Structure 1
Amino acid sequence: MLRLARRAAAAVCAAVVVLGASGCSPRAGEWAEGTAVIAGGGTTGVYFDYGGHFAEELSTALGVSAEVTETEGSVDNLRRVASGEALLGFAQGDAAADAVAGRGAFDEPLPIQAAARLYDEYVHVVVRADSEIDDITDLTGRTVSLGAVGSGVNVIATRILDVARVDAGSVSNPQLDLRESIAALESGEIDGFFWVGGLPTPGIENLSGSLPLRLLPIEQDWVNAVNARYSDAYRSSDFPAGAYGIAQSVPTMAVPNYLIVASATPDAVVKDVLTVLFDARSRMAEDVPAAALLSRRQAIFTVPVDLHRGAVDFYRDQRG
């Protein structure tokens, strides 16, 4: 763990350098001479869309070079941020909780912290509207993507199957990302797929315009069971009527999404990031509806992931 923390600190120090100077000290304006990378997700998901708009806002407001990069999702994002490969990343609350505890997909705790709670993500279990699959328990023996390796989707999908008493080994899982899952469902290569994302997720919204879809229900009892067995990071929610062209609301499970930074990131950089994030919220929300859900009141609730010290200072200053 100590070696990992030192490597992360060195990587962040290398990436966050005073323009035209040297060293690594927490002064405002300490941004990389190269590119500040935001670890997003698949190109058809909310993470990538949000990250792309946020990168543009950071570049404009701070005069830095920022870009979003395609990744496999939350688990991948957490590893990239911890290693210094990315300055910022999006991550589901359950995957982030595993990362700081060193469990699940993580062999040891990662030196990451949260800058903000952004919005809640919804667990989608998507099938064709004319499918014979009506329930999670009907997935046995089917070909269903449980998400790409290294994704938070895969974490949640396997947990839901567990509490629903569906043997994950009985489900043929091609391990597709969202873009691949959408294409495979459209072509009939798979019977359904899991996805975890904001509403609406652009790729699924586009698919619903050409292919009628259904979302399988995730009932309260299953949400309670996942919380009790794994991580108390989930809550019950609903897809509203009209989402993806569906006539009636559908119960599901929601999980918070965090903006993640490395623990070694200078405080001033985190404060810069949050200043731009909140100032640009309305502009980004014109194209990314999830951005409108950002709230100063809710942003601090990232337990069990600690808020970065720069984030704590930012939110305290906002109250003054």
Structure 2
Amino acid sequence: MAQRRSRLIRRGVASAMLAVLIGSAITWLVTREWLPRTFRISSGQVEGRYHEFARRLGPAIEARLGRPSEVLPSEGSLASRELLLADDSDRRADLAILQGGSVPLRGLTMIAPLFPDVVHVVARADRGIETIEDLRGRCVSVGEPGSGMQVSAQHLLDHYAIELDARSVSFDSLAFDDELDAAIVTTNSSNRALRRLLAGGQYVLVPVIDADAIALIHYHYHAITIPRGLFCESPRIPAEPVPTVATTAFLATRADAPARLVEETLEALYSEIGPWDFPDLIPRSRALDWHPAPMHPAARSFFDPFDHLGWTATVLESLSALKELLFAMAAGAYLLWDRWRRVREREKQEEVRVQKERLDLFLEQTAAIEREQMDTDDPRRLRELLDRVVRIKLHALSQFTHETLRGDGTFALFLLQCNNLTNVIQLKIVIATMRQRR
């Protein structure tokens, strides 16, 4: 019985340990962050500044992760968003450069703001276009379909309630398309194609007088002034400061992106890329001031490592998880103990039942001896019966060790029966012996 009980205990402990190990393995597999074998950056159009930035960023991340990188050109921010959220892993992007306010943000988070994208309203110098209202009914380029440029152009036109003959042409085509009167170009002011276009003298910048109002209506815009002489000093282009609005280009990823990918991307961004490559790159110290999209938790920790609120929340979450783990372990231990207790009780009950059956057998044997002694007065036969009674009694005392059985009335009756039977047989032996001597 002791060996069986020991086996049950060992089996229960082994089962509990196996359950803990399996649970730990499942938790590790579920919560482990898997990095892509090849990480992809969606960059917008090949001739654009987003593509130039992605080509510079990709190798820097590749060197830190030890994984190959790939730059995926796209038609614009909307197409880049689709690549980020694609179901097919073979065509899905891991990072993307998006224009603030140009795409729905559901399922996306920001890694870092990159640089301002300024809304430039450029018009042919010989078409008499001096204000935004002069664009009514004109032929205006508003950017490629699916691009953030087209979205920002539409925001501007909606604000002024302007309808026009919109067309989609590239920067390079502006200088050669005589039918175009103007273009709304949202890009960085250092864009080479834009600088070449304005330096030729055929186009001028049109001011956005309501820049402050537009910035109040649309959270992703902020008012900005293009300083004079930014694009050319001789002749000075623009000749006077030009008010307009700007949004922010930002590096984005999926909301469930691995924290390590975000951290290594940020390390590569601020250690390998800087104002020597992109003069208007928003510095790390000002990153939290720009909010074109919700920020990834790993990015927020990177920019603000002493965010006590976030640290406290993490600690509380860890304590809560630890409490749940301890509760689960305590519950498991209780269930294991309860199962062991029930098994032990069943074992005891079975042991008592078996011993009671044996006690009944011994009672039957003593009853048979009692009947036999009633039919004989032979001293030798009586001594044999007496020896049998003693052996039965000793055998029972050696086997019936259970406290419950020893306290049972049947066992007491058995002992009393053995004692009485012994006394009776001994008395008969004495009487028979005396008779034989006479």
Whether contact under 8 Å (1:128, 1:213) holds in the other structure is yes
Q: Is 1:309 paired with 2:302? A: no
Residue correspondence of structure 1 range 195-214 to structure 2 within 5 A? 195-214=185-204
CA distance in structure 2 between the partners assigned to 1:307 and 1:187 by the alignment: 41
Within-5 A mapping of 1:120-199: 120-167=116-163, 171-176=164-169, 180-199=170-189
Structure 1 residue 274, shift from structure 2 partner: 0.5
Deviation for aligned residue 1:261: 0.5
Higher relative contact order (CA 8 A, sep 6+): 1
Aligned mate of 2:73, from 67, 70, 75? 70
Alignment of 1:229-248 (within 5 A): 231-245=218-232, 246=237, 247-248=239-240
Aligned residue in 2 for 1:224: 213
What is the deviation of 1:263? Answer: 0.6
In structure 2, C-alpha distance between the alignment counterparts of 1:46 and 1:252, rounded to whole Å:
20
2: distance between equivalents of 1:25 and 1:131?
A: 61
The answer to whether the 8 A contact 1:185-1:192 is kept is no
Query: Is 1:88–2:95 an aligned residue pair?
Result: yes
Superposition RMSD in Å: 2.5
Listed as ranges, the gaps of 5+ residues in structure 2 are 1-28, 309-438
Instruction: Write out aligned runs for 1:281-296 (5 A).
Output: 281-282=273-274, 285-290=275-280, 293-296=281-284
3-state SS of paired residue (1:299)? helix
What's 1:277 paired with?
269
* Distance in 2 of aligned mates of 1:112 and 1:152: 16
CA deviation string 1:261-317 (max 9, x = no partner)? 1011111111011110111123xx434333xx2222321245463211221222234
- Tell me the TM-score normalised to structure 1 length: 0.76
- In our comparison, the structure showing a higher alpha carbon Rg is 2
From 255, 258, 277, the counterpart of 1:266: 258
Tell me: CA distance 1:316–1:173, structure 2 relative to 1, closer, same or farther (3 Å). Answer: same
Q: Is the 8 A contact 1:281 1:294 kept in 2?
A: no
Give how far 1:136 is off.
1.3
State the AA in 1 paired with 2:178: G
Write the letter of the residue equivalent to 2:229: G
SS of the residue aligned with 2:231?
A: helix
Q: Which has the higher helix share?
A: 2
- Paired residues, number: 271
Supply the distance in 2 between the matched residues of 1:244 and 1:119 (Cα, whole angstroms): 18
Q: Are the equivalent residues in 2 in contact too, given 1:227–1:233 (CA < 8 A)?
A: no
Q: Is the 8 A contact 1:159 1:226 kept in 2?
A: no
How far off is 1:24 after superposition?
7.8
Instruction: Describe the SS at the equivalent of 1:312.
Output: helix
Aligned to 1:47: 50
How far the C-alpha of 1:227 sits from its partner, in A, is 3.4
Deviation at 1:23, TM superposition (A): 8.5
Letter in 2 for 1:197: T
The CA distance in 2 between the partners of 1:318 and 1:186, in whole Å, is 54
Query: What are the Cα deviations for residues 155-202 of structure 1, in whole angstroms up to 9, with x where unaligned?
Result: 1111111222312xxx111223xxx24313333242221111222112
* Per-residue CA distance 1:189-239 (angstroms, 9 max, x = gap): 4222111122211221233344543111111x35414632xx322111111
| Match of residue 251 from structure 1 | 243
- Listed as ranges, the gaps of 5+ residues in structure 1 are 1-21, 101-109
